[in-house]
């Protein structure tokens, strides 16, 4: 309903959310779920997956049907004890972004790239589980929250969607109303008794137009255009039943009460221009949505009865005040969002209350700090002119959060998380969580020495001057010989003398074991170890390919720019870059070893038979009772392990 004057608009008090407002999007229905699919080829959302070079690796064929973990559907690959079904592959291919998929010539390469990356994820997940990461707090919470989201969605389907039935008569009547546009004259009252008093004195449309109303009635007279699907259902039902000259009964809608009459009827150009099948589908969607809202209210009235859910007023008031201070003191944008910088400032202002309980829903409670994190993740925004609405907005957010949590707990109590399809989807997310934690653990285990950093800098710029070291070294064939040499050193014999007596290297015996100066990046791991030592310090014995080595640092030459402040910053950045490259290399090495140890089968003939779309998308699943989640977990591109050769610790450019 679009009013022409300043009267209260006759719009619905519960409008459907604009799922894709503000960006290019289209809604698709898959397996009875509604998704937002964002085409990243149009620039609406860019893919975070990097294009990688596809390297093929011959794989063994054949999978034992008796092996544990075989899924009920068709299998497209095996990674150790895990099997990848065609269903999982298609879901993750179709619902995730990827460059180049719109080109037919690259379709098979893109399919192989994704499949090998999923295989890598499953290998890492098994490795993580074997290492006890299933008990990791982050993994456990991630799996629990995912199970709650999916179980809650299943509860919505069972209690709301499956209880909504549309008749053919409802659809036909909806179509008949949709193609019409009504012009109406109405009176709006804030009090029902005023509206009833006036209605008793109106006998026709002419009376409504001529009637003079005393100001004590708090009434408003106006005209509006009524478009089916836009207005409150109660207004629509009454208006479309009226004939020319009739007056409606008092209709309660929104924040008041209406009396109206139809002044004119025309064609609605929006719906009238649609093809019959499109019009029918659009009308069916609107009717279903409205009936789902009604069923939702009916279900919640019973489901929430007796459950505990509340916000703590003092904590809510304190947080509202803190947010207003942060928002008022930064920026000039018309809408102020909780950015990472403002989140940090908000946490600083609210430091004393961060651990205080803000809201409770059944057996779940949220602290002020946790809720701030949720607001930041959702991009909590407030118009600069509406800072006084912050308490109301926060209360609305908390009401939605509490209701969703209570419905999730209801779903778990009913055991909906144990349904086969829910368990399958939770398992897919669990594998992703485990693989992510395993990557993180592998990268954290990597240590980066100064020699590694110098090696990286040298690979990036050949003109970089690298520090050099000189050692006096003793090489023996066995540890027994080394023990004899150590005994001589203990009795006071010089290092040079011990080398001449025990070394198996003739040239070293001639030099007394003294080497020439060499870069710390050379003779790994000797150069790297020596770079951390002081002149005169000794190290070893350690096993080397030629025997057993023991050495003493005889001298060190620093790089000419070692004391330069700007170079120190460059060296620090290089250390982080080297750490990242070495971490990726460590993950690649681990994947290569896991593939050899556990075995991998990829059925390329079945893969080629799978038909896929050429439109890469970022797809979100709209959840029952509100909220959304990624339809499937991201797949990290992992292909280097297919043709990996370990060649030491050197970092290649």
CA R_g for the chain: 36
Whether 2-12+166-302 shares its CATH topology with 467-558 is answered yes
284: number of Cβ within 10 Å: 15
Q: How far apart are CA 341 and CA 413, in angstroms?
A: 40
Task: Give the per-residue pLDDT at 447.
Answer: 87
Q: Is 97 helix (H, G, I), strand (E, B) or coil?
A: coil
Q: Which two tokens stand for residue 565?
A: 């402040």
Kindly give the residue spans of alpha helices, DSSP state H, lying in 418-478: 420-444, 450-460
DSSP 572: H
Task: Give the per-residue pLDDT at 645.
Answer: 64
The answer to whether 466 and 519 have CB atoms below 8 angstroms apart is yes
Q: Which CATH number fits domain 467-558: 3.10.50.40, 2.70.70.10, 3.90.1640.10, 3.20.20.210?
A: 3.10.50.40
The answer to whether 233 and 226 have CB atoms below 8 angstroms apart is no
Question: Residue 606: phi, psi to the nearest 5?
Answer: -70, -35
Q: How far apart are CA 442 and CA 457, in angstroms?
A: 23
646: number of Cβ within 10 Å: 10
CA triple 377-378-382, angle to 5 deg: 120
CATH class, 2-12+166-302 region: alpha beta
Q: How far apart are CA 5 and CA 241, in angstroms?
A: 24
Q: How far apart are CA 538 and CA 529, in angstroms?
A: 10
Distances (CA, A) of 424 to 114, 418, 482: 19, 9, 59
Q: Which two tokens stand for residue 337?
A: 């969002």
DSSP 11: B
DSSP 550: E
Q: At what angle do helices 276-303 and 390-413 cross, to 10 degrees?
A: 80
Give the residues across from 33 on adjacent strands: 30
The answer to whether 204 and 245 have CB atoms below 8 angstroms apart is yes
DSSP 522: S
Residues of the chain with pLDDT under 50: 1-69, 647-653
The answer to whether 389 and 382 have CB atoms below 8 angstroms apart is yes
Task: Give the per-residue pLDDT at 615.
Answer: 79
Strands lying side by side in the sheet with 468-476: 518-519, 468-476, 547-557, 538-544
Q: Which of 151, 222, 238 lies closest to 189 in space, CA to CA?
A: 222
Q: What is the pTM of this model?
A: 0.75
Task: Give the per-residue pLDDT at 420.
Answer: 95
Q: Which two tokens stand for residue 531?
A: 């770079």
Question: Residue 33: phi, psi to the nearest 5?
Answer: -105, 155
Q: How far apart are CA 175 and CA 166, in angstroms?
A: 13
Percent helix / strand / coil, the chain, rounded to 5? 50, 20, 30
Q: How far apart are CA 37 and CA 151, in angstroms?
A: 22
Please, how many CA atoms are within 13 Å of residue 509, restricted to the half-sphere of its CB? 8
Dihedral class, residue 62 (left if φ above 0, else alpha if ψ from -120 to 50, else beta): left
Distances (CA, A) of 645 to 17, 575, 638, 649: 53, 23, 15, 12
606 burial via Cβ count (<10 Å: 0-12, 13-18, 19+) = middle
- List the chain domain ranges: 2-12+166-302, 26-157+617-643, 309-417, 467-558
């Amino acid at each position: 309903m679009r009013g022409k004057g300043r009267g209260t608009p006759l719009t619905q008090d519960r409008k459907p959310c604009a799922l894709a407002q503000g960006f290019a999007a289209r809604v698709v229905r898959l397996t009875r779920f509604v998704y937002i699919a964002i085409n990243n080829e149009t620039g609406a959302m860019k893919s975070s997956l990097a294009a990688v070079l596809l390297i093929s690796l011959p794989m063994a064929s054949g999978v034992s049907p008796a092996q544990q973990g075989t899924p009920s559907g068709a299998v497209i690959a095996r990674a150790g004890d895990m099997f990848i079904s065609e269903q999982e592959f298609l879901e993750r291919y179709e619902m995730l972004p990827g460059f180049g998929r719109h080109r037919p010539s690259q379709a098979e390469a893109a399919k192989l790239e994704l499949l090998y990356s999923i295989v890598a994820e499953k290998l890492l997940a098994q490795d993580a589980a074997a290492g006890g990461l299933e008990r990791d707090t982050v993994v456990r919470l991630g799996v629990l929250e995912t199970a709650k989201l999916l179980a809650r969605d299943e509860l919505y389907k069972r209690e709301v969607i499956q209880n909504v039935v549309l008749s053919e008569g409802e659809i036909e009547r909806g179509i008949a109303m949709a193609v019409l546009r009504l012009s109406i004259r109405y009176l709006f009252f804030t009090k029902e008794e005023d509206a009833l008093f006036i209605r008793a004195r109106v006998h026709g449309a002419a009376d409504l137009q001529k009637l003079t109303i005393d100001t004590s009635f708090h009434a408003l007279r106006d005209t509006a255009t009524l478009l089916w699907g836009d207005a409150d259902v109660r207004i629509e039902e009454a208006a479309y039943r009226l004939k020319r000259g009739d007056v409606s009964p008092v209709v309660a809608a929104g924040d008041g009460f209406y009396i109206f009459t139809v002044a004119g009827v025309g064609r609605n150009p929006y719906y009238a221009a649609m093809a019959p099948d499109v019009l029918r589908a659009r009308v069916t969607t609107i009717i279903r949505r409205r009936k789902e809202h009604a069923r939702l209210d009916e279900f919640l009235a019973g489901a929430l009865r007796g459950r505990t859910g509340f916000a703590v007023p003092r904590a809510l008031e304190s947080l509202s005040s803190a947010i207003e201070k942060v928002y008022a003191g930064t920026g000039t944008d018309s809408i102020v969002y909780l950015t990472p910088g403002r989140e940090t400032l908000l946490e600083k202002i609210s430091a004393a209350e961060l651990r205080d309980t803000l809201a409770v829903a059944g057996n779940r409670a949220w602290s002020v700090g946790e809720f701030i994190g949720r607001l930041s993740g959702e991009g909590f925004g407030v118009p600069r002119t509406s800072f006084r609405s912050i308490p109301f907005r926060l209360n609305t957010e908390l009401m939605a959060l509490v209701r969703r949590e209570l419905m999730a707990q209801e779903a778990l109590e009913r055991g909906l998380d144990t349904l086969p399809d829910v368990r399958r989807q939770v398992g897919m997310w669990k594998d992703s969580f485990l693989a992510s934690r395993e990557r993180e653990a592998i990268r954290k285990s990597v240590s980066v020495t100064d020699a590694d950093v110098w090696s990286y800098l040298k690979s990036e710029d050949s003109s970089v001057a690298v520090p050099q070291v000189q050692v006096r070294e003793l090489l023996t064939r066995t540890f027994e010989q080394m023990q004899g040499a150590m005994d001589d050193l203990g009795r006071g014999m010089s290092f040079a003398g011990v080398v001449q007596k025990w070394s198996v290297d003739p040239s070293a015996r001639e030099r007394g074991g003294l080497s020439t100066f060499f870069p710390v990046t050379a003779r790994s791991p000797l150069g790297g170890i020596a770079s951390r030592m002081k002149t005169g310090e000794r190290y070893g014995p350690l096993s080397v390919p030629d025997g057993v080595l023991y050495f003493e640092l005889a001298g060190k030459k620093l790089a000419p720019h070692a004391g330069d402040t700007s170079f120190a910053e460059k060296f620090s950045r290089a250390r982080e870059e080297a750490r990242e490259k070495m971490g990726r290399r460590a993950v690649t090495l681990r994947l290569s070893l896991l593939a050899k140890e556990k075995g991998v089968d990829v059925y390329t003939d079945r893969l080629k038979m799978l038909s896929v779309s050429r439109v890469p998308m970022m797809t979100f699943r709209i959840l029952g009772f509100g909220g959304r989640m990624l339809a499937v977990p991201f797949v990290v591109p992992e292909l280097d392990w297919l043709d990996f050769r370990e060649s030491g610790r050197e970092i290649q450019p």
